[in-house]
Amino acid sequence: MSCYKYWGKLEEIANKLSEYNDSNIDEVNIDEIVEILDDVEIIAHDKTIDFDSAKHILDDEKMSKVLKLIRKFYVYTGARLERENALKILESDDAEAVLDSFHFYDRYIGLIENESKLAKFDENKTFLFLGSGPLPLTLIMFNKVFGCKCIGIEQQEDVAELSVKVLKKLGLDEDIQIVVGDETAIKDLDYDILMVAAFAEPKERVFANVWEYVDEKTPVLYRTYTGMRAILYAPVLEKDTRGFHKEVMLLPPGKTNNTSVLIRKIS
């Protein structure tokens, strides 16, 4: 089916989002923005649009401003939802229940199940995640499900500090470590499996530094957006992963948005 039927709808969604002012966006009820972005996700999850058809929207110059705005709000909303859930965890008497209430929690279950097929996660492995954020749910779930030790790398010090408090509140601070820094921090860490978050930027620099410090045996996973889901966020490009061999790519199940990819450094 043609993707052109969505052009008008995407422009309408972008117009709604453009009404929000950057100076007071944090004062807006986040549910308002989530409701608008839900319409984007309906389009993103349309299985009748194949990858070639999706490229007509993704590569069109006229749609570039629309996609830039939608992607900006998608990132903002995800980060704000994580931060708000993290703060609620710190204030709650039932931290686990608050964590389970996170807006995207169910999607992470499907995502983790998918990614467990790409590498062997167990209690004898250390999992390193680049771009762990304020609510390190990926690390939490891999630790809980597979028992592996986990390390998160977060560039922003205040975000890292919040995630450390969350882990302590959940009683996971001994199993999950947070390091402040960019991707070059991996050179001083011991790990068995490495993953690059979907929002880790800039992609080309991140993967170049990962290539510099990782060995050929270590499985490197990354999250990206493919097909129509790429209207939500710019995908990882082939040029970004130069020097790596792509071994497996798993498309997202259900309402999950991230495609998961396994690559290894070429010697």
pLDDT of residue 22: 86
**Taking the domains of the chain in order of start, what are their residue ranges?**
3-100, 105-265
pTM (2 decimals)?
0.95
Query: Alpha-carbon distance 80 to 78, whole Å?
Result: 6
pLDDT of residue 62: 87
**Which segments in the chain show pLDDT lower than 50?**
none
CA 72 distance to own-chain centroid:
14
User: Cis omega before residue 235 (within 30°)?
Assistant: no
Residues 6+ apart with CB under 8 A from 89: 95, 98, 99, 135, 166, 169, 170
DSSP code of residue 235: P
Other beta carbons within 10 angstroms of residue 202's beta carbon come to 9
Query: Alpha-carbon distance 94 to 169, whole Å?
Result: 10
pLDDT of residue 2: 63
CATH T-level assignment (fold) for domain 105-265: Rossmann fold (3.40.50)
pLDDT of residue 248: 97
Residue environment code for 1-30, b if the CB has 16+ CB neighbours within 10 A, otherwise e: eebeebbeebeebbebbeebeeeeeeeeee
